[in-house]
């Protein structure tokens, strides 16, 4: 694991090198999509974003974090933007959050301006600095998150689980650590449980999005896992795009989902370590993640129909979700009686 003090953009073995020059090029359709999606996607996440479970002062801070993270994430993988432009824009965001607001100038965002996103980025950054920009832990974690998005922009595909988990330290664990920091929670046990939950949620999202990622020519399931399943990267992409994994691959995906559901269950004690309303937020996040696990476990082929928490969720699953929120995640939830292997621990 890269030391947390080393906040330079990480290098990923086998990933394309960063370009020497920005090379940003206008992509009007992609730009409009990004602008529209920043707020629109709040309601499509697998977890509540700035929900009413949080206190009002905290909600505005979480929303500022979310908008910057959403902008950077979409820049990293939105179709229609050249890799050089992605990296240049992410570099500008990284530089912007490290620059005092009074010292920033519009000409410091030329790549974002070339994509028609300077106004949007300036507004997002202004809210960031107003709400959380001077918080040292939040600042550090956002820099780690932007570094992880640099991996995405370079076409990151993990070779093994260790590399995927290193990526998750920036892309996922940062979210939990920022929430803890905003509530003044620094207990090592809370941080460890939060990291484990965020890792499990990121893996669940990876399994949930295999078809979407395939359409973008992206594979986040580690190469060693695909090899163990007896399938090449190109064959996996073809099967996901066709919406037909086949029984063996579908079973491997379900088993991995169940492992992550067990990881959520093993770390749900986090809610009891936190202030009451943040604990409720964590319980809602856990319930949502476990609902996705249940859907993956019940699905004959996750590439055919993506599990969601949207309006089409059957009443049975809605009742189970509410039950998980109120009572906690039951042992072996979603397994239909199958035993879980020991969930993998994440050592930071």
Instruction: Convert the pLDDT of each residue in 46-72 to its tens digit.
Output: 556 667 889 989 999 999 999 999 999
**Quick check: 266 pLDDT over 50?**
yes
Instruction: Convert the pLDDT of each residue in 313-328 to its tens digit.
Output: 889 999 999 999 999 9
DSSP H or E segment with residue 5: none
| pLDDT top residue among 175 and 301 | 175
Place of tokens 């780690």: 144
**Angstrom distance (rounded) from CA 212 to CA 219:** 10
Of 15-19, 76-80, 253-257, 292-296, give the lowest mean pLDDT range.
15-19
**Quick check: 346 pLDDT over 70?**
no
**Angstrom distance (rounded) from CA 169 to CA 145:** 8
**Angstrom distance (rounded) from CA 100 to CA 103:** 5
- Token duo for residue 25: 């090029």
Do the beta carbons of residue 27 and residue 81 sit within 8 Å?
yes
Of 78-82, 178-182, 248-252, give the lowest mean pLDDT range.
78-82
Do the beta carbons of residue 138 and residue 181 sit within 8 Å?
yes
Q: Where are the domains of the chain?
A: 22-135, 157-348
The model carries a pTM of 0.84
Q: What is the DSSP string of 12-60?
A: -TTSPPPPSS------HHHHHHHHHHHHHGGGGSSS-SS-TTS-HHHHH
| pLDDT top residue among 139 and 40 | 139
Do the beta carbons of residue 231 and residue 214 sit within 8 Å?
no
Domain 157-348 class? mainly alpha
């Amino acid at each position: 694991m890269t030391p947390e003090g080393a906040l330079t953009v990480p290098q990923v073995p086998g990933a394309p090198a960063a370009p020497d020059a920005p090379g940003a090029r206008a992509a009007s359709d992609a730009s409009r999509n990004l602008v529209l999606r920043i707020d629109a996607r709040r309601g499509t996440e697998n977890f509540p974003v700035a929900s009413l479970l949080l206190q009002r002062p905290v909600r505005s801070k979480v929303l500022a974090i979310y908008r910057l993270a959403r902008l950077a994430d979409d820049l990293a993988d939105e179709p229609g933007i050249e890799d050089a432009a992605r990296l240049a824009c992410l570099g500008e965001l990284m530089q912007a959050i490290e620059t005092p607001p009074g010292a920033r100038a519009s000409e410091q965002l030329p790549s974002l301006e070339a994509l028609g996103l300077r106004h949007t980025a300036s507004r997002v950054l202004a809210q960031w600095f107003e709400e959380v920009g001077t918080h040292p832990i939040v600042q550090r974690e956002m820099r780690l998150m932007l570094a992880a998005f640099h991996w995405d922009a370079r076409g990151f595909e993990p070779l093994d689980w260790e590399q995927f988990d290193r990526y998750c330290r920036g892309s996922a664990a940062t979210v939990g650590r920022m929430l803890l920091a905003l509530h003044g929670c620094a207990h090592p046990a809370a941080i460890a449980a939060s990291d484990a939950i965020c890792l499990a949620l990121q893996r669940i999202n990876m399994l949930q999005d295999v078809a979407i990622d395939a359409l973008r020519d992206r594979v986040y399931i580690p190469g060693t896992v695909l090899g163990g399943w007896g399938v090449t990267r190109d064959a996996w992409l073809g099967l996901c795009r066709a919406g037909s994994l086949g029984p063996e691959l579908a079973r491997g995906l379900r088993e991995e989902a169940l492992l992550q559901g067990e990881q959520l269950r093993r770390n749900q004690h986090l809610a009891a370590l936190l202030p009451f309303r943040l604990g409720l937020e964590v319980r809602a996040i856990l319930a949502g993640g476990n609902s996705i696990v249940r859907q993956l476990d019940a699905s004959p082929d996750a590439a055919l129909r993506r599990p969601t928490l949207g309006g089409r969720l059957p009443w049975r699953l809605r009742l189970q979700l509410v039950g998980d929120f109120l009572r906690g995640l039951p042992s072996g939830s979603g397994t239909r009686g199958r035993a879980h292997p020991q969930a993998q621990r994440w050592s930071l």
